[in-house]
Amino acid sequence: MREAKWIWYPGDYELYHSIKLHARREEFGCEYPTFWALATPYPNVRFFKSYHADEADTVRFVTRAKGYVIVDDRRLPVNEDVVLPAGDHNVMAVLLATNGLPSLYADSKYLKTDDSWIADHMIVTVRVPAVCTPAYTDAADNPEEFCFAYQRLDAVKTVKTEQGTLYDFGRETYALLHIEGADAQSEIRVTYGESRQEALDHAEALIRETLQGQSDYVRPGRAFRYVCVQGADKARVWADYEYLPIDDVATFSCNKKNVNKIWEICAYTLHLNSREFFLDGIKRDRWCWSGDAYQSYMANRYLYFDPEITKRTIIALLGKPPYEQHINSINDYSMYLIIGAYEYYFATGDAQFISLYFDRLHALYEFIVGRLDEQGYVCYRDGDWIFIDWSDMDKGGPLCAEQILLWQCHKCMAELCALVGKDGAAYKKAADALQKRVMQDYWREERGAFIDCHTTGKENVTRHANIFAIMYGFVSHRRAQKIVRCVLENDAITQITTPYFEFFELGALCMMGRLKTAQKKIESYWGGMVALGATSIWEQYLPEQKGIEHYGMYGMKYGCSLCHAWGGGPIYLLGRYCLGVYPTDIGYKTFAVQPDRGLYRHVDGTVPLPEGHSVRVKMDAHSCTVTATRAGGTLILGGKQYNIPADRELTVEF
């Protein structure tokens, strides 16, 4: 017998929680909602079900919305017990939520709400399966409240300072702060900081507040490692760590302790930013950005392999047609969303998800191509943000990096069309034509590089377009090798300054057989942050900066996020290129294990596969042992291939 679950119209749950999430940002005592358009749930929806009851049955249709239910032309109230006779029945529930999520729950002997119901938003031509999640299976559950887990945290160190009592919780966290037993008449000043300096600097700290009138307080979830409390010397102060209860499947270790620590801190960083959706960072923005999320999808597949958070994030970012603005207002972020949706499908084989949201993906694609210039290039239009990265590049005209993303977007759209039974030939043709134009306009054979812009005459070269050219297979292997020599290994080309694009660069280098170069960079770049005491990975790291300079960004003294999801790149890089695990068919029906120790004497790690499966790889100078919990794997070593049996060790000695 099926289990009853709360049901809603596809996408509405994610859009409702997206609105709640994007209203949480605060800076300098002010609320700071998003500066891009947000989609909302459909306010009124209908749910349909035909079923048979062998005998009379008592049913209660539970909802927090306004509405009624019609059973066989009989109108019935919601939130009351009704008796339905034996026989065949047709049910239609009509709901209107004035301020919330239209959702429905019923659990009787013969009638249960689940994904076998049909839904529409009052338009009969767009009826689709209702959706649900195992998190809400009881009438008392509330799908308007996201299900987090909590763990008590106490400060590991408490220090009296001139600014108040400083509580150090040992490492970065996202938590609800509790203040108990304070003097209700006292004015209490609370300053939150990712760094000690920020927590002691009330005037410049991004998150700060003043409390009065209570003896006990529970403050909303916020990011901090340090909290300075002034005016509550006798109070008890502790925190409730709020987190998504999602378990790591992956492990990684090698002979270098600093690398193991980097991996662990990267994993913790991704955990902190894995909430309703993948966030960019837990302190400053607390928003969902498509570029940041794109990297989180990749790291997710090598840490949890949890499809649900990836789907929630894609749905929330996708919003609803008609599209009048790029995702997050950023041109490249719209394209990442389509590319990320296809990569999600390739990794999981979840065709149902793509089919359900294909119309929205296609509408977004049409919006993207509707804003191209007469040559079919991505260009700036009013309201756009041509981003790519926080790096100086020539954006005086159509930017090359954007065009390579567009090429990949065309290709992914062709694949998505084929998946849902539509003709993708036009998208492939658009990709081929674009590739030819880009090679003519942007490629400089004598320099072995793509220039940023072909219309300004500056002929400026940065790493970004050249990284994409390798990463997405835009150029031949010969030209990719030339790019590595002339650009990626050329110190005269401006260096990447964020973990965001450093991840892409190292991925491109690994694809070209430069794993050792990537390993060195992980130790120097990510390791540089860890050496400075980072307990989570930062938004930006400039090795030449000193002390408190590291905390500044965007013109703010503490504007740099010290816990940023785009810092989790080593999780993917070490799982994909060191342990060497990757899919060779949709949904990992077949997969390869092609390990490479590189600079390490030995490696030992586990990589998750879909549906709770995993593969473990152990390798040293003498042998390699692989154990997979599912069939379909091939070990590739020294030019030879070995079938990996399910649930049995395969050992190859050198």
> What does the pLDDT look like over 539-578, one tens digit per residue?
999 999 999 999 999 999 999 999 999 999 999 999 999 9
pLDDT in tens, 69-86: 999 999 999 999 999 999
d(CA 33, CA 40): 15
DSSP 59-85: EE-B-SSEEEEEETTEEEESSSEEEE-
pLDDT in tens, 78-109: 999 999 999 999 999 999 999 999 999 999 99
User: Are the C-beta atoms of 121 and 10 separated by less than 8 Å?
Assistant: no
d(CA 207, CA 194): 10
Pairing of strands 217-218, 251-254: unpaired
- Taking residues 161-181, report their average pLDDT: 98
Q: What is the pLDDT of residue 326?
A: 98
Distances, alpha carbon 597 to alpha carbons 112, 198, 495, 619, in Å: 53, 40, 26, 7
Phi-psi category of residue 12: left, alpha or beta, with phi > 0 → left and psi -120 to 50 → alpha: alpha
Is the previous residue joined to 543 through a cis bond, with omega within 30 degrees of 0? no
User: Are the C-beta atoms of 558 and 205 separated by less than 8 Å?
Assistant: yes
- Taking residues 327-344, report their average pLDDT: 98
The CATH homologous superfamily to which domain 581-653 belongs is Maltose phosphorylase, domain 3 (2.60.420.10)
pLDDT in tens, 120-154: 999 988 899 999 999 999 999 999 999 999 999 99
22, containing H or E segment:
helix 12-22
- What CATH class has 7-129? mainly beta
DSSP secondary structure letter of residue 569 = H
Query: Above 90 in pLDDT, residue 2?
Result: no
Q: What is the pLDDT of residue 440?
A: 98
d(CA 607, CA 305): 9
- Cα dihedral: 511, 517, 518, 522 (round 10): 180
Q: What is the pLDDT of residue 123?
A: 92
User: Are the C-beta atoms of 488 and 521 separated by less than 8 Å?
Assistant: no
pLDDT in tens, 500-514: 999 999 999 999 999
d(CA 411, CA 429): 9
Q: How many CB atoms lie within 10 A of CB 211?
A: 18
* Backbone Cα Rg of the chain: 27
User: Are the C-beta atoms of 280 and 543 separated by less than 8 Å?
Assistant: no
One-letter amino acid at 380 equals Y
Which residue, among 219, 216, 209, has the nearest Cα to 236 in the 3D structure?
216
pLDDT in tens, 486-502: 999 999 999 999 999 99
For residue 251, the cross-strand partners are: 606
Tokens of 358: 């294909």
Q: How many CB atoms lie within 10 A of CB 557?
A: 17
- Taking residues 151-161, report their average pLDDT: 98
Which residue, among 315, 406, 311, 414, has the nearest Cα to 360 in the 3D structure?
315
CA atoms within 13 A on the CB side of 553: 16
- Taking residues 598-603, report their average pLDDT: 98
User: Are the C-beta atoms of 334 and 402 separated by less than 8 Å?
Assistant: no
Mean pLDDT, the chain, rounded, equals: 97
φ, ψ at 470 (rounded to 5°): -80, -45
Question: pLDDT confidence of 16, banded at 50, 70, 90?
Answer: very high
Q: Identify which has the larger pLDDT, 635 or 497.
A: 635
Which residue, among 134, 131, 107, 97, has the nearest Cα to 117 in the 3D structure?
131
Phi-psi category of residue 67: left, alpha or beta, with phi > 0 → left and psi -120 to 50 → alpha: left
- Taking residues 569-592, report their average pLDDT: 98
* CA torsion through residues 530, 533, 534, 540, sign: negative
Q: What is the pLDDT of residue 51?
A: 97
* CA torsion through residues 409, 414, 416, 417, sign: positive
For residue 107, the cross-strand partners are: 112
d(CA 647, CA 627): 6
For residue 13, the cross-strand partners are: none
Q: Which CATH number fits domain 149-243: 2.60.120.260, 3.20.20.300, 3.30.2270.10, 3.40.190.10?
A: 2.60.120.260
Residue 282, C-beta contacts closer than 8 angstroms, at least 6 positions apart = 172, 174, 223, 272, 273, 561, 563
Q: What is the pLDDT of residue 126?
A: 86
Q: What is the pLDDT of residue 1?
A: 63
Question: pLDDT confidence of 264, banded at 50, 70, 90?
Answer: very high
DSSP 299-351: HHHTTT--HHHHHHHHHHHH--SSP-S-GGGBHHHHHHHHHHHHHHHHHH--H
Tokens of 599: 């600079």
Tokens 């030879």 belong to residue: 640
pLDDT in tens, 302-317: 999 999 999 999 999 9
Q: What is the pLDDT of residue 135?
A: 95
17, containing H or E segment:
helix 12-22
CATH architecture of 251-578: Alpha/alpha barrel (1.50)
Query: Above 70 in pLDDT, residue 427?
Result: yes
pLDDT in tens, 238-257: 999 999 999 999 999 999 99
Query: Above 90 in pLDDT, residue 19?
Result: yes
- Taking residues 462-467, report their average pLDDT: 98
Q: What is the pLDDT of residue 552?
A: 97
Q: What is the pLDDT of residue 124?
A: 86
Task: Report H helices in 593-633.
Answer: none
d(CA 557, CA 299): 30
**Equal fold, 7-129 vs 149-243:** yes
Tokens 């030992």 belong to residue: 604
d(CA 143, CA 6): 7
Which residue, among 445, 447, 451, has the nearest Cα to 466 in the 3D structure?
451
Residue 547, C-beta contacts closer than 8 angstroms, at least 6 positions apart = none
Domain boundaries, the chain: 7-129, 149-243, 251-578, 581-653
- Taking residues 407-411, report their average pLDDT: 98
For residue 204, the cross-strand partners are: none
Query: Above 70 in pLDDT, residue 214?
Result: yes
